Amino acid sequence: MRYEGNILIYCGIDWAEKTHDVALVDDSGRLLAKRHITDDAAGYKILLNLLVEFGDSEENPIPVAIETSRGLLVAVLRAGKRQVFAINPMAAARYRDRHSVSRKKSDPGDALVLANILRTDMHAHRPLPNDSDLARAITVLARAQQDATWNRQQISNQLRSLLREYYPAALNAFSAWQNGLCRPEAREILKAAPTPARAARLTRTQFQAALKRAGRQRGIEAEAERLGEAFRADWAQQPPLVEDALGKQMLALLIQLEAACTAADDLAKAVEETFPQHPDAEIILSFPGLGIQLGARMLAEIGDDRTRFADARGLKAYAGSSPVTRASGKKTSITRRWVKNDRLNHAGYLWAFASLRASPGAMAHYRRRRDDHGDWHAAAQRNLFNRMLGQLYHCLQQRKLFDEHTAFSTGLTIAA
């Protein structure tokens, strides 16, 4: 908030792809100024000059409400100590209905609505966290690597579905390998033999050459022999013309899979180079089940702003690991949370699953939830993630490493 005399001033920005609408109001709701700016350096300068005109300064910046948390405009606004509030568009739509029943909508009107959200309910909304530049860089890389991994799996599933239509020998041959179609050996062999007819004509030498091109160094002769037998086995086949057409479709899909695998690997290397530089990396990696990739995803969603969450309960609710209670009259129900950070929740399930083998205390806690409380697998994992997330919050706040006996002293005693 910025005091202009005794007046508090708030700013709302209706974000769009090419232009933005800006509105400034005082604490009585009076519209002080409005502008229509472009999404470029000139437009940003007009916006900053407008804020300065109404008293914005480094010591007392004017808070800004906008419907996005990313982009150059947000980066410009976050410079300094200014509080920037990313308002969910659905929440902004509900506020719009408070002032008009005609459901009319305009960009300048939406900017005014956003400014009034801060004027009336700023205490109920959280500003964007004040994370360090390194933490924000890790967030970009970790999320991109996660997206690339999901994209790789999606294309792999499409390729698997296509091979089932005309090339079951390939699926059978690659089933012995971990990660199957995503392995470079599988991709090299499919390039050399896009159809069953061409695969049946490949010699042992050609199989060995394909495995070497993929980077394989051991067991090449035995693997080439196994692949030759698998591809020469008797399988049902499509008509030759249809088979050739499906082979061309498969090669086109294989190019996409190759690009997705390369992107996922390159981004994983970037995460491995950047994440260990963060001061919180040592604490995060001390927890069982958290490696560099998964630990980077946890840091990416939690951030390093220690004031972001008032306590561990806030972080658990944000991650969706803690249950939510709904009570009406005499009825009370306790269910899982549906509104949450999906990326953090997904990383949490992987973390809880990986910790079962890495931590005796985590396994004891999981078994106790399954046997004593009757939880199903997903519920027991969610409860374990909820507990370990609280431990992570404590260790980050106190700058301590994870200690197995402190974290699961009761569970270890019972297990013993």
CATH number at residue 86: 3.30.420.10
Please indicate, yes or no, whether residues 164 and 221 belong to a single structural domain of this protein: yes
Domain end marker among 234, 252, 273 = 273
User: Which element (helix H / strand E) includes 312?
Assistant: helix 312-319
User: Which domain does 219 fall in, by range?
Assistant: 137-273
Please indicate, yes or no, whether residues 169 and 123 belong to a single structural domain of this protein: no
Contacts of 328 (CB under 8 A, 6+ apart): none
Cα 175 to Cα 141, 236, 387: the distances in Å are 31, 18, 37
At position 151, the amino acid (one-letter code) is N
Q: Return per-residue pLDDT of the chain as tens, 416 residues.
A: 554 555 789 999 998 888 999 999 998 889 999 999 999 999 999 999 999 999 888 888 999 999 988 889 999 998 888 899 999 888 888 888 776 666 677 888 889 999 999 999 998 888 999 899 999 999 999 999 999 999 999 999 999 999 999 999 999 989 888 888 999 999 999 999 999 999 989 899 999 999 999 888 888 999 899 998 889 888 888 999 999 999 999 999 999 999 999 999 999 999 999 999 999 999 999 999 999 999 999 999 999 999 999 899 999 999 998 888 778 777 877 787 788 899 999 999 999 999 999 999 999 999 999 999 899 999 999 999 999 999 999 999 999 999 998 888 765 555 55
Please indicate, yes or no, whether residues 298 and 396 belong to a single structural domain of this protein: yes
Please indicate, yes or no, whether residues 264 and 153 belong to a single structural domain of this protein: yes
DSSP class of residue 170? H
Question: How many angstroms separate the first and last alpha carbons of the chain?
Answer: 57
Q: Are strands 7-14 and 2-4 parallel, antiparallel or unpaired?
A: antiparallel
Domain end marker among 205, 238, 273 = 273
Please indicate, yes or no, whether residues 96 and 21 belong to a single structural domain of this protein: yes
Please indicate, yes or no, whether residues 316 and 405 belong to a single structural domain of this protein: yes
Please indicate, yes or no, whether residues 403 and 287 belong to a single structural domain of this protein: yes
Please indicate, yes or no, whether residues 246 and 289 belong to a single structural domain of this protein: no
Q: Are strands 324-328 and 331-335 parallel, antiparallel or unpaired?
A: antiparallel
What CA–CA distance (Å, rounded) separates 208 from 225? 9
Q: What is the pTM of this model?
A: 0.85
Count up the domains in the chain and report the number.
Answer: 3
Neighbour count for residue 154 (Cβ, 10 Å): 13
So what's the pLDDT on residue 365? 93
Neighbour count for residue 146 (Cβ, 10 Å): 21
Please indicate, yes or no, whether residues 155 and 123 belong to a single structural domain of this protein: no
So what's the pLDDT on residue 38? 92
